Chains A and B, each alone.
Chain A
Amino acid sequence: MQYDIRLAIGYNYGAPSDRARTVVRLLPSNLPGQQRITARLLSVDPEPDERRDTTDFFGNAMSILSFHQPIDRIDFKLHARVERLAPAGSLDLSPNLAGLGAEIAAYRNLDSLSPHHFLGPSRRIGPEPEIAAFATSFHKPDQTVRQTVGALGQAIHSEMRFDPGATDVDTPPGEAFANRHGVCQDFSHVMIAALRALGIPAGYVSGFLRTIPPPGQPRLDGADAMHAWVMAWCGNETGWVEIDPTNNCFVEADHIVVAYGRDYADIAPVKGVLRTSGTQNSRHSVDVEPI
């Protein structure tokens, strides 16, 4: 499936922000066998005095921008053409949890998507006893890891209510889970905490959703903004599986990947340090159309 993606994000600052420096992760990348980029362009207004486009540890495209003069607003525009290939549906060859543990222990590699990065606590996701207990209650010993991942995704989807006003980007997963509500970021953080509690490596994926669903299907939650979902490592044979707990589905051709990380903090779309005390307001729009 080919998509035409347009994204606009903008911020206004109450007081001019001095020497702003920003790291942006908005550009989708080529992922062999999953997605191919035909064209991509990120434009920034006002024009930054410095811009460096590079990749981060996890292989994501990262733009480092710096402004030498104070700015009172900043606008990002992304335009990309992406071909998304749906993962081939395959037999479930994943081991059970004990088998997964042995495979991880034998895995001696720290490449960017090594399962070892996605097991321990990360900046936004520490040990969450309540989520861990929830996860344990949904795991059955005879399940394969992939089955466990699917069951947990479904459980979290039905347990939590999608509510765009209830949380913000800094809400801890424990709090979102305690209140059983949130947006895609909260659903994803909760599910990652649950998977890690069981010993399943789990990471955070940011990206886009197709805006208008295929005929006869409901519009997906989160389609009017950047989206987030979960990846889980299901052993050497299966590798990474992506699942969207907000929409209760395994990821297929409707999801376009921008970045992989351990949690939101690794791959926040716009990270900035702004020397300003004034108020900010922001704009955000996304359009993802099949061609």
Chain B
Amino acid sequence: MSGQAKSLPPTPLLADYKLRSGVADELFDASGAMRPAWTAFMAQLAKLSPEEVAERFARGDRYLRDAGVFFRQYSADPLQEREWPLSHIPVILHERDWDAICAGLTQRAELLERVVADLYGDCTLVRDGHLPAALVAQNPEWHRPLVGMKPASGHFLHLIAFEIGRSPDGSWLVLGDRTQSPSGAGFALENRMATARVFPEPVPRANVRRLAGFFRAFRGALDDLGRNGGRAAILSPGPGNDTYFEHTYVARYLGLPLLEGEDLIVQNGTVQVRTVSGPQDVGVLWRRLDTGYADPLELDETSQIGTPGLVDAVRQGRVNIVNALGSGILETRAFLAFLPQISEVLLGEKLKMPNIATWWCGQDSERSFVQDNAGKMFIGDALSRALPFDIGNADGLAGTAQTLAGDALGTWIEANAANLVGQETVTLSTTPAWIEDRLLPRPMSVRVFAARTAQGWVFLPGGYARVGRTEEAGALSMQQGGSVADVWIMCDRPAPPETLFDNERFRREDTGALPSRAADNLFWLGRYVERAEGAIRLLRGYHLRLAETGDPDDDSVQQISNLLAALFVDVGAPAHATLTPMLGSARLSAGRVRDRFSVDGWAALTDLMTSLDAMSANIQPGDECARQLGILLRKITGFNGLVHENMHRTSGWRFLTLGRAMERADAAAAVLTACMAGDVPGLGLLDMALEYGDSRITHQRRYRVDPTWETVGDLLALDANNPRSVLFQVTAMRRIAQDLPRAQVAGRVSDVLGALLRLETQLVVAHPSDITIACLTDIRAALADISAKLASAYLN
């Protein structure tokens, strides 16, 4: 490599970086000289020892892990999460190249807007023969209930992305358009944060364009779209989606509520979110779910994640959706065959940046061409929306897959012509990837995001490239092990700093009422964590007793195991098996409101699960098990502390705390009941109850007698100062209920508050001798009634 010597001293890093003929490269130009945008970065990298590089990469990975960045791998386990596969070496493009790319894509964005407006409008493209009718009429993304619909804002497209690659001659081309609900902009931010930890030096980073300005512009555009109709929100398909992390991340970053279909109702043509304060208008939805799922009433009737009536609200112009429902049709692979000509028809211009050459086999001459050149082509489903390197099983890459089906290639094409397209197999440019302590060239494509603003299309300057695992283009797919790199747009002088916020226009935002579904999940998170904590305490008590006696058949040990059985805790099962469902439910609830969690809170919960998983199934009962349970207990206390010390006292905190208090009050009553019911003198159940209540020492100090049911009942049911007593928790709930929305209407207290006041008074005036099994049963029934009232007033 001649150019290498010119630009920087020979470095062992590039010893194996072999350029291939017929393949463009990002680091070196066609003459073999290093591209100027890279020189400062490479000089910096060359100064590092392999150990230093490894240490820096680990820093970046740690950042991603701590931030909880993941994507979901579609596999047998639907909720399997994978760590974000960062390729630590950024892709670097000079701003001159970048600006040319953006100019080409601005034209394309305009073209796509015109095409989708025509497809849901007069269909002149079909009528005039520029687009075959079959590709629209048989397209699953052409949604008939939306035909004739005009977006309230006047535009279909607001946030789109383009997958682009560099072809062997060095020019850029579009591999695919992403108009449905493009993902990756949030991941781009995380790529940037992680890469900044790997390469913190101001040179050359100071010259790299910042990302925040794009998000500020997009956030402003969303606010503008909602100006007349209500606030903006993100509509997510939920935690099962592969990019759910990004939805939560972007929601937090932009300060938008993260909603799911069941959060929304349509009333009098208006979209509203169900909140603990009643329904509130929503004017803009940034949707992250495909059109078909959005409304089971008029779109896919089997959708469980949609909102009935959403299509009708759109038709009545009462909500702006980003991007408009139906926009996904522009991703259709076969459209790439027709867009170059459509550009000349609709814009009167040739495409500034070509797209990947594509031929629809439904046309005779195109079919013959594909037949004749099948060996050099990718052949696949015409109506697919997949990108060229996301190759499905039914597709024929260079004449391989269809032989599996037993058909000759020609017969296969002939029989399925209208459903097939041929696409040239593009050899994408390579970029440096760090593999086994050195740099190797790997294929890459760049994802470019564009947002419509009042000032026109604005582009996210870099942030997201896919890098192949091997030299094959198909290896770009993340599901197949490809990785993702930051993209730096390198300027000749320092880039101006950018922030998300427009500091000139500071204002305190109303964060909006808590959605009922989020409140429900927080309430149950509080309950499940508390339930797990209670179970851990009881189990630890059992194992300590077992360690003392060393005999599982000992009467006192047996008695406790019976008590635990009455509380649905089976001491025969491994502790791990008992606790996993409880903490699993807690994590599931937490996962549904992840946008409301601090990074630390989520990390603490993850840490708790990891410790639980690490608890061996065949751990020795007795001392060892008690010790391990003690560790879990401290971690759960840590989580609770984090939540209660740091969470803002908003509605979210209130419902989480209500859940915890409800569970704690009920468990205290349940433990007392079970102890009383199982009591045989001398077997230590009184001690067990005290231990559960963490109240042994208090009891000794306070009563100066051996525990009796009266003293224990006083301490665990009626003591207003004992945080483990029923009364203490009921009082806590009553205080919170006073601050809930609609706690008092026209001078009357709400059902929830009324029921809490009644129960609290009953406990305050009770005498310790009143605490019988019958009384405890009444208390538990009252608690269940309060829980039901809470659900019907706020959580449904």
Contacts and interface: CB of A to CB of B under 8 A. Distances in A.
Interface centre among B137, B269, B796 (most CB of A within 10 A): B137
Interface string A13-38: 00000110101000000000000000
B144 interface: yes
A265 B133 contact: no
Contact of B126 (A18, A110, A273): A110
A114 B123 CA distance: 12
B308 A273 contact: yes
B144 A57 contact: yes
B290 to A, nearest CB: 15
B621 interface: no
B117 to A, nearest CB: 15
Interface stretch (B26-34, B93-101, B218-226, B296-304): B296-304
B297 A273 contact: yes
B301 A109 contact: no
Contacts of B401: none
B134 interface: yes
B266 interface: yes
A116 B138 contact: yes
A50 B147 contact: no
Contact of B136 (A23, A110, A121): A110
Interface in A59-79: 64, 66, 68
Given A21-B266, A108-B133, A109-B133, 19 more contacts: A21-B297, A21-B308, A21-B309, A50-B268, A56-B145, A57-B147, A58-B144, A109-B123, A110-B123, A110-B126, A110-B136, A110-B137, A114-B137, A116-B134, A116-B137, A116-B138, A123-B300, A271-B301, A273-B297
A119 B137 CA distance: 9
Contacts of A19: 265
B748 interface: no
Nearest to A119: B138
Interface residues of B, number: 28
A107 interface: yes
Interface string A257-270: 00000000110000
A64 B312 contact: yes
Contact of A23 (B127, B137, B147, B297): B297
Contacts of B126: 108-110
B267 A116 contact: no
B154 interface: no
B133 A114 contact: yes
B129 interface: yes
A31 to B, nearest CB: 19
Contacts of A272: 297
Contacts of B147: 57
Contacts of A121: 138
Interface residues of A, number: 28
Nearest to A19: B265
A265 B301 CA distance: 8
B127 A273 contact: no
Contact of A52 (B128, B300, B312): B312
Nearest to B122: A110
Contacts of A64: 309, 312
Interface in B89-142: 123, 126-129, 133-134, 136-138
Interface of A: 18-19, 21, 23, 50, 52, 56-58, 64, 66, 68, 107-110, 114, 116-117, 119-121, 123, 265-266, 271-273
A89 B719 CA distance: 92
25 contacts: A21-B308, A21-B309, A23-B297, A50-B269, A52-B312, A56-B145, A57-B144, A57-B145, A58-B144, A66-B309, A107-B133, A108-B126, A108-B129, A109-B126, A110-B123, A114-B133, A114-B137, A119-B134, A119-B137, A120-B134, A120-B137, A123-B300, A271-B297, A271-B301, A273-B297
Interface string B132-162: 0110111000001101100000000000000
Nearest to A50: B268
Contact of A120 (B128, B138, B148, B301): B138
Contacts of A56: 144-145
Nearest to A118: B137
Contacts of A266: 144
Interface of B: 123, 126-129, 133-134, 136-138, 144-145, 147-148, 265-269, 296-298, 300-301, 308-309, 312, 796
Contacts of B133: 107-110, 114, 116
Q: Is the interface of B mostly helix, strand, loop or mixed?
A: loop
Contacts of A114: 133, 137
B127 A109 contact: yes
A66 B133 CA distance: 36
B299 to A, nearest CB: 10
Given A56-B145, A108-B129, A66 B267 contact: yes
A56 B145 CA distance: 7
Nearest to B133: A116
Contacts of B266: 21, 66
B328 to A, nearest CB: 17
A273 B267 CA distance: 14
Contacts of B123: 109-110
Nearest to A109: B127
Nearest to B127: A108
A102 to B, nearest CB: 12
Pairs A-B, 10 closest by C-beta atoms: A120-B138, A116-B137, A57-B144, A273-B308, A21-B308, A116-B133, A110-B123, A117-B137, A21-B309, A108-B127
Contacts of A50: 267-269
A56 B143 CA distance: 12
A58 B145 CA distance: 9
Contacts of A21: 266, 297, 308-309
A90 B705 CA distance: 106
Interface centre among A58, A64, A119 (most CB of B within 10 A): A64
Interface centre among A52, A108, A119 (most CB of B within 10 A): A108
A135 B464 CA distance: 51
Contacts of B134: 116, 119-120
Contacts of B267: 50, 66, 68
Contacts of B309: 21, 64, 66
Contacts of B308: 21, 273
Contacts of B268: 50
A121 B383 CA distance: 12
Nearest to B268: A50
Interface centre among B129, B147, B265, B308 (most CB of A within 10 A): B308
Contacts of B301: 123, 265, 271
Contacts of A117: 137, 144
A121 B419 CA distance: 12
Contacts of B312: 52, 64
Contacts of B265: 19
A272 B138 CA distance: 26
Contacts of A68: 267
Nearest to B123: A110
Nearest to B119: A110
Contacts of A120: 134, 137-138
Nearest to B145: A57
B222 to A, nearest CB: 27
Contacts of A52: 312
Nearest to A68: B267
B248 to A, nearest CB: 26
A21 B312 CA distance: 11
A234 B771 CA distance: 84
A196 to B, nearest CB: 11
A93 to B, nearest CB: 23
A62 B298 CA distance: 11
B66 to A, nearest CB: 40
Nearest to A20: B308
A57 B142 CA distance: 12
A271 B297 CA distance: 7
A266 B298 CA distance: 9
Contacts of B148: 57
Contacts of B297: 21, 23, 271-273
Nearest to A107: B133
